[in-house]
Structures are given as structure tokens and as C-alpha cells.
Amino acid sequence: MVLTDGEVEMAEKKAPKNQGRETKGSRHHLQNFVNETPDLLNSLIVSASPSLLAANVSIIQWKSPLKGSTPDRPYFEYRDDFLQPLGLPEHEKALREFWPKNGPQWDALATMKVTGKKGCLLVEAKAYPDESKTATKASSAASILAIEKSLSITQGHMGVSPSDWKTGHYQLGNRLAFLYFMNEVIHVPTWLVLINFVNDTTHHPTDLSTWIETYREVFTSMGIKPDSPLMSRIIILFPPV
């Protein structure tokens, strides 16, 4: 069902943080990309990834954030329920064993065909570097233990020396953990797309050189090396606004 402009406007006024039309920042620009120029976004993603090019990727279908996906949830962003729009509900139990509730909220999700199999895109978008400087908000001992265990497993897989990913770079750390979960636990070919908007005058403008230096510092701080496993499944874009 496609929403009318009036229905979208009414939904936006009462929309929670994971839905509704945004007027500035990375959510605004990503909503435009997915809903207005998806073919351009697809081309940018595939052209930036040698592993996707080699896999002969096709039929990229965006599942979120969609303007008129449901009448009461325009531009909805999925969180613990992200496997549902990807058509992977059979892996819910494995997800809950890997990560506690209130996991990452995905800015965008897509499915695709990769060498004839189902593949997925998990997207995180940013307009300025400070958006990614986060620490875990988990409070229960059981949740913290589960998070530490999964982050440690991910670090081990990537050849990273044990370090604290729960503070400072927690957001990227947990996204990498979910990239590990998708590829190595449930064996669904998945790529993590990090979209960093350049010179976003609607919010906090960040130039390209600042973005590049930010990622150099982040990867160094997290102990991630160029040949770390999963690096071929990470795509970093810097589209100008």
C-alpha cells in the first residue's frame, strides 16, 4: 500500500525515532537515496566492492527505509526484527543466542542475488564522525557478558588482539559482530555498507579528508588490519551532498 502525502505527513508528526521522514542529516539523505535514486545507490555500492563485482551481484531490492512500506510505519528502520524483511526468520533463535535484545538499528537493509544465492546488505549511514562515537548502553550482567563474548569471537575471527570495543567504537564494533553473524554463523553472504555523507550542510558538514582520517584512526584504534577477514565484506562510501 502506498501512502498519500497527507498520510505520510500525519505519520511523521508522531513517528518514533526509527521511522518517519527526516529533514536533515544522514537519515534524510539515505531516505532520498533508497526511495528516489536506488539504481544510483546500487551502482555506487557494487562499483566500490571488488568482491561484489566478482560475485556477479544482481537484483538488489531495498527493504528499508521505504516511504510507503506500511501505512503506519513510513521510512521504518528495523532493529531486533531485521531478519524478517530480509526473509530470514528461521535464524531468529541463532540471533538471540548471539546477541541480546536491543541490538543495532539498521539505517537500511537490502537483499540481492550473489552467485545465484541470497545475499544481504546491512547499511550504516553518517553525516559527521561524532555520530559513531558510542558506548554500549547494556546494563544487565547477562547482556554485557553476551555482548563481550560475541565481540571477542568477532575480534578473534578478524585477527584482532583482544580489546575493548564496548566504548568509543562500540557502534562499528557491534556492526562488525553482526557482519560476522550473518556470514559465519548463519552463512548468508552479507556486506556491511558504511555511507558517510560529505559536506552535509543540513547538519554538520564534514569534508572528505576528515572522513578519510577518521577511518584511519578508527581502524588503527580497533586493531583492524588491511588483511583482516571480513574486510572484503565492508564497503565504505563517501557520497557528496
- Give the DSSP letter string of 168-223: SBHHHHHHHHHHHIIIIIS---EEEEEEE-BS-TTS----HHHHHHHHHHHHHHHT
| C-beta of residue 222 within 8 angstroms of C-beta of residue 231 | no
Cα separation, 185 vs 169, whole angstroms: 23
- Is the confidence at residue 5, as pLDDT, over 60? no
For the stretch 166-202, pLDDT in tens is 988 999 999 999 999 999 999 999 999 999 999 999 8
> Helices 208-222 & 170-180, crossing angle to 10 degrees?
70
Amino acid 139: pLDDT? 77
> Does the pLDDT of residue 14 top 60, yes or no?
no
Structural domain of 110 = 5-237
- Rounded to whole angstroms, the Cα distance separating 162 from 184 reads 19
- Checking if the pLDDT of 228 tops 70, the result is yes
Give residues with Cβ within 8 angstroms of 98, minimum separation 6: 146, 150, 177, 181, 185
Domains identified in the chain, total number: 1
Q: Is the pTM of this model over 0.85?
A: yes
Which tens digit of pLDDT belongs to each residue from 139-149?
799 999 999 99
Residue 161, Cα to own-chain centre: how many angstroms? 24
Residue 129: C-alpha distances to residues 32, 169, 206, 207 (Å): 21, 11, 8, 10
Residue 155 identity: Q
Secondary structure (3-state) at 83: coil
Query: Cα angle vertex 98, ends 92, 103, to 5°?
Result: 80
CA angle 156-158-164, nearest 5°? 60
Distance between start and end Cα atoms, the chain = 30
